Structure 1
């Protein structure tokens, strides 16, 4: 099909064009400003390239994430994603143990012996901790999706509640594992 074909329908003329490429600026978009702030006010930096190079030269090259102070809701959201990754990786270990225990009596005895070690208990506790935190933070995110605790102060309170409930559940999981 010819994408630039023109069709006449009564007195109307319809033109079919290919989609615009990503980053295409239409004529109705405002022009990119070519002014830079200075001590005396705004000054023109000349061409668009000069303005872009002036802006880009002031940007930091390597950001030190340790200098950023994230608010508690941001930290809980980041930890929610990290706990999801830990669960994803931990499921591989759990499935291997399940497969080995179901392979026969020798496999079951081997898994039982393996689970008595400190390292295995630590791994199980870590996976359970990630799962419990992910559950609590996921409930918080679902409540926020429903419009509950979307404001700044209620979001901070929800993040604090998420951390406290998660810590309590993680301690209980540690008692249960050991």
Structure 2
């Protein structure tokens, strides 16, 4: 196919090479990733419930694993996923109404929602560990 005068060979759709990373993009990607993490959390919840029903020995095995350093790390990751997904979900809901697309406002709320996921997870675990 012949190229017309004055045109360049450009991609037909945007590619990652031309996008600059920003708070909105980070928030959106984290929303997707935490959705996957929250889905993993549902499997762990089902495992916990199954161990609870299966009897004391099965529950003790689950509790031992959950109380190990790796188990606690997984539980922190799951709780972060659920909390951060909820916070960024609220941000996406507001965007779906048509509000918050102004550049400065979008950056502000993307930064707030990203930080709030971390802060609320830390508060949740501090409350669990300090009780």
TM-score bucket (shorter structure): 0.7 to 0.9
Using CA pairs below 8 Å that are at least 6 residues apart, which structure has the higher relative contact order? Answer: 2
Unaligned regions of 5+ residues in structure 1, if any? 1-32, 43-53
Unaligned regions of 5+ residues in structure 2, if any? none
Instruction: Choose 1 or 2 for highest CA Rg.
Output: 1
RMSD: 2.8
> Which has the larger strand fraction?
1
How many residue pairs were aligned?
A: 126
Quick one: distance in 1 between partners of 2:117 and 2:44? 23
1:1-178 → structure 2 map (5 Å cutoff): 34-37=3-6, 55=9, 69-176=20-127, 178=129
- Could you tell me how far 1:36 is from its partner in structure 2? 3.4
> Which has the larger helix fraction?
2
TM-score in terms of structure 2 length: 0.79
